[in-house]
Chains A and B, each alone.
Chain A
Amino acid sequence: GAGVSQSPRYKVAKRGQDVALRCDPISGHVSLFWYQQALGQGPEFLTYFQNEAQLDKSGLPSDRFFAERPEGSVSTLKIQRTQQEDSAVYLCASSLGRGHTEAFFGQGTRLTVV
């Protein structure tokens, strides 16, 4: 498929465990975003990449959250020492560039911390 792909779709982690969430953006898309969506809420911005450069990480809730995009394509969001409040859907989006271009979202990874 030509869309944004995220894996895994579902992840159950024990409290304190580290997790890694993967995002495959649309080929050629320069911009990549991560969002966190709690149940019943709208998505909230976490971080933004332009190619391999992380230009904005102001939305990352703590230093347990880390994102990378080393070759400017696939991105990984890592959460260390997961806590119950990290339970949410993590959405990845990509777009051709900055500004007013359409963002394409993946289906998200639902993380449940028990």
Chain B
Amino acid sequence: DAKTTQPNSMESNEEEPVHLPCNHSTISGTDYIHWYRQLPSQGPEYVIHGLTSNVNNRMASLAIAEDRKSSTLILHRATLRDAAVYYCIQLGETSGSRLTFGEGTQLTVNP
């Protein structure tokens, strides 16, 4: 299964932007990058996904490097509710629709 690498933990202050990095050096041309997050005692929740271009939605932005070997999830103004484990997932043809979660990044948001 395709492997991504993320920092184990990050910390942010409320109302400040947060940039969560992800490396996916083995990505192939047809692989997408998906981000999910998991709040305490909840199932994972979809955040965003993209292929090559930067993507924006109501929750976050996804910036994908030109060589596609890394990406950054951007939360524009962190709130306490954004404290969660964030997972970056490389999803391609060989994986079908199955999601391969790593250990993710535990985001702490300080008031």
Contacts and interface: CB of A to CB of B under 8 A. Distances in A.
A110 to B, nearest CB: 9
Interface in B50-108: 85, 87, 91, 96-104
A52 to B, nearest CB: 16
A100 B34 contact: yes
Interface residues of B, number: 22
A107 B43 contact: yes
B45 interface: yes
Contacts of A44: 101
B42 to A, nearest CB: 6
Contact of B43 (A56, A95, A106): A106
B50 to A, nearest CB: 10
A102 interface: yes
B96 A108 contact: no
B43 A100 contact: no
Given A102-B46, A103-B46, A105-B45, A42 B102 contact: yes
A41 B96 CA distance: 22
Contacts of B100: 45
Contacts of B34: 100
Contacts of B102: 42
The 10 A-B residue pairs with the shortest CB-CB distance in the complex, in nearest-first order: A105-B43, A42-B101, A102-B46, A45-B98, A43-B101, A105-B44, A98-B97, A91-B43, A100-B32, A106-B43
5 contacts: A42-B101, A56-B98, A103-B36, A103-B46, A103-B97
Interface of B: 32, 34, 36, 41-46, 49, 85, 87, 91, 96-104
